[in-house]
Structure 1
């Protein structure tokens, strides 16, 4: 099977219920979307039967999305990210401030702290330029100057929305180098952490590539998972995450076309087409709490709205209510 970062053995998918109560299917290692589609189709019966064993009737809706005829869009797109976020609800926000850090939570018989990439407008603009250089390495200076921006029309999946979140109203944001340094000093005996292609996990429409970050002391425990150096979808270099995003739209409203001057031009697509979307989750492995000074935690917190899908298992606070709570606790 080409273009995968999966394990050498032929593991079938594992199924279960996520911490948010929804059905979750995963495979060890990272698998690109094309090969993942084939594997899901080949193992559909096994996946459905395994869910029946845990009293869940699962219809593999993701196959409906993957089989759609999708208009051309930019893929893959390489993003270079240097900030990460951890979003939580009101209870989690209070707990983080009280414990002065991030507590690892149980997942698949182990404990992790989960973080997402924070992708801003500058990251998108830089990714657009890299995409153009890859597509048209012989562009003239005039073509470069006349090229209208286009990538922000396509980066519409939840992975790019920093104003909303499915996980709560309270967003902690850290420079990746500061988070890695704290983890290195507190959980790795001052040795460099190890990054591995841990899981490809999918839900109804979402594909999550989990990157495991662990202490070198746990190399034997996690040695079956490929190290990131050989990953086709993800890299880590100079405190920067390099993510090769495959499905950036979720809802496709535009089609990628070339105009008469060989420039990229997008045109509105009349019928909206929903598709899968992919993103990266960082799973820091440790026990206990990853500590930060309380003032640093307070400086890192911003508020966001809860998205249409609310996985936070808490009340949906308005942005104004969240800001009031934030002000109350950060002014203490």
Structure 2
């Protein structure tokens, strides 16, 4: 992996064109590179498969003004002909909805215990939410007080019409980034017109063992580490075809956590949406326990005033995530 500093000032190690799962990362990374990745006292935990149908884009007050003025999303760091290709990507993240956690739990149980009875299924208590504690599942933000949440297919449809001349966008395995406690898997989305430019990156295939794939209008994310802080231990009960999360009464264990980001190749253009649609998909977010450099946050009352100024005729009040 190659060490680098991203545009937000965070140091990380990056591998281009591959999605390394945790086993790959441990096998191919020097042990001294990351103190969390190589911890050997992490209790058993689930690795479910999430079928995700929404994307989110978090921003601060300045970014919100820019999005309203542009009537859409752009990458403000684009450097054009001075540095072609640099910062030409618009970044979104996957949003795992509560019903998608429930569905992932059902898939995990059916895969683990394919012969369980209806009575055993009824006796199974929900447990996966106990492990969904990383920032990937939080309603808070690391970026700013404003979150736009769009259906995945709506974003891809807009991108197809505005950037691909109506053709299907191309998806590729872009990179794996290892931060201090975070593993980010990036998927690149671009126009078929740029196939030659991005040919070094493998196409995102329907690999049943891949960390992330795309199928039937959803991203399939096979999470490698869904709990930044491990307060529960996964317990199997094969005699009853059950699973449960057992609370750990000793000190919680800290580990890496993973998530998937989607990078749309836009260069200096704007991914446009109807301004009313932008407002419909906007909510207020509180600051998370850890925020990124450059992130700024307002209280809810100030955010209400800001949004009212930008969308004065919208009939509904600002909602909190």
2:184 to 184, 208, 225: 208
1:321 to 297, 302, 311: 302
User: 1:134 is paired with a residue of what secondary structure?
Assistant: helix
User: 2:247 is paired with a residue of what secondary structure?
Assistant: strand
1:39 to 28, 39, 49: 28
How many residue pairs get aligned? The number is: 301
Work out the CA distance in 2 between the residues paired with 1:78 and 1:214: 25
Work out the CA distance in 1 between the residues paired with 2:245 and 2:175: 34
1:279 to 233, 237, 259: 259
Match of 2:3 in 1: 15
Match of 2:162 in 1: 186
Work out the CA distance in 2 between the residues paired with 1:130 and 1:64: 29
Work out the CA distance in 1 between the residues paired with 2:171 and 2:246: 40
The answer to which structure has the higher strand fraction is 1
Residue 125 (structure 2) pairs with residue 148 (structure 1): yes
Cα shift readout 1:55-79 (whole Å, capped 9, x = no counterpart)? xxxxx3x33443232111102x100
Work out the CA distance in 1 between the residues paired with 2:213 and 2:108: 17
CA shift, 1:316, in A, is 2.8
Residue 274 (structure 2) pairs with residue 293 (structure 1): yes
Structure 2: unaligned runs, 5 residues or longer: 79-84, 314-321
CA shift, 1:246, in A, is 1.0
Kept in 2, the 8 Å contact 1:68–1:275? The answer is no
Following TM superposition, where does structure 1 have runs of at least 4 consecutive aligned residues deviating by more than 3 angstroms?
Answer: 105-108
Kept in 2, the 8 Å contact 1:234–1:244? The answer is yes
Choose 278-287 or 16-25, whichever is displaced more: 16-25
Kept in 1, the 8 Å contact 2:173–2:186? The answer is yes
Cα shift readout 1:159-195 (whole Å, capped 9, x = no counterpart)? 011x201011100111111100110011111110000
User: 1:26 is paired with a residue of what secondary structure?
Assistant: strand
The answer to which structure has the higher helix fraction is 1
How large is the RMSD of aligned CA atoms in angstroms? 1.7
Choose 62-71 or 19-28, whichever is displaced more: 62-71
CA shift, 1:275, in A, is 0.5
